[in-house]
């Protein structure tokens, strides 16, 4: 499945290390944060006052996953 709002931040960064750059570009302090394993992408956007749709689009773009088949291939 593509990266979604309900995915845990730590899982996203672990499965797609290129996603780390997006967190940094959006000035989100999630990289190395002990809460990353509990926060979803949506939680992180809310906490950092980041537009959730823009952030999710950037995440999907950087990992090359805009549909289910691509992300399943990348993650699997």
Q: For the segment 16-63, what is each residue's pLDDT rounded down to a tens digit?
A: 999 999 999 999 999 999 999 999 999 999 999 999 999 999 999 999
Number of H helices, E strands in the chain: 5, 0
Report the pLDDT value the prediction gives residue 68, as an integer from 0 to 100. 53
Report the pLDDT value the prediction gives residue 75, as an integer from 0 to 100. 42
Residue 20 and residue 15: Cα distance in Å, rounded? 10
Q: Residue 15: inside a domain, yes or no?
A: yes
State the pTM of this model.
0.82
Which candidate, 33, 44, 61, places its Cα nearest to that of 8? Answer: 44
Q: Residue 1: inside a domain, yes or no?
A: no
Q: Which domain holds residue 60?
A: 9-75
Q: Residue 18: inside a domain, yes or no?
A: yes
Q: Give the list of residues 6+ apart from residue 12 with CB closer than 8 angstroms, or none.
A: 3, 19, 41, 59
Number of separate domains in the chain: 1
Q: Residue 4: inside a domain, yes or no?
A: no
Report the pLDDT value the prediction gives residue 5, as an integer from 0 to 100. 96
Report the pLDDT value the prediction gives residue 65, as an integer from 0 to 100. 73
């Amino acid at each position: 499945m593509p990266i979604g709002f309900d995915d845990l931040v730590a899982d996203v960064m672990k499965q797609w290390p290129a996603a780390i750059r997006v967190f940094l570009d959006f000035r989100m302090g999630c990289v190395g944060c002990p809460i990353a394993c509990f926060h979803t992408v949506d939680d992180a956007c809310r906490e950092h006052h980041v537009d959730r749709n823009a952030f999710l689009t950037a995440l999907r773009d950087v990992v090359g996953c805009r549909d289910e088949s691509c992300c399943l291939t990348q993650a699997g």
